[in-house]
Structure 1
C-alpha cells in the first residue's frame, strides 16, 4: 500500500497509507490531516486542498490541468508556487509511494 508523507508548516511529518486510485485529498481527510479541508469533496471547485508537491515528485505528479490551474491562480488562500497542486487532483499510484506534500499556510 503506497504512503504519503504530509509535512506541516512546523515541519511535523504525518505518514498516511493510501489505496491506489484514492486522491491525496481523500487520504488526508480520512486520516484527519490538519490543513487539508477538501470543502468541495474533491470536485476541483474550492482550492481548500492546496498542497506543494515536493520537488522530488513534481515531475511524476505533473502539473495542473486548466481548471485546476485557474483555481490555484484565483482561489488558493496560500501563495502559489511552481509545485502547487490541488490534492484532490492527484490520484495515488504505486509509483508515487512515499509522495511528499507540504501543507501551505491556511
Structure 2
C-alpha cells in the first residue's frame, strides 16, 4: 500500500483525506470519533507501532478536517449523519485502501 496522504473519491462523489504510515504485515485502520474529530489523534501510531511491523491507515470522516464538509443543515445532506452512513463509509474506505 502506498505511504503518505491521499484523497479518496467515494461513490457518492465526496472526497476524504487519508494517511498511511509504516510498513508491516499487520494493517490497522484507525477511526476517529465524530463527526467532528479527525485523524490527527493517530499521527503518532505509525512511529509507536513500527517495532511491531504495523502499517497504520487513518482518515477524516465526511464533515471532518481535510475531508469534504457538506452543508449538514441542508435536508438532502442529513442522510450522511447516520450510523448506517458512517459504517458504509468505513467499509468503502477500507476497500479503496486495499485493506483486507
Of structures 1 and 2, the one scoring higher in RCO (CA 8 A, sep 6+) is 1
What TM-score, normalized to structure 2? 0.29
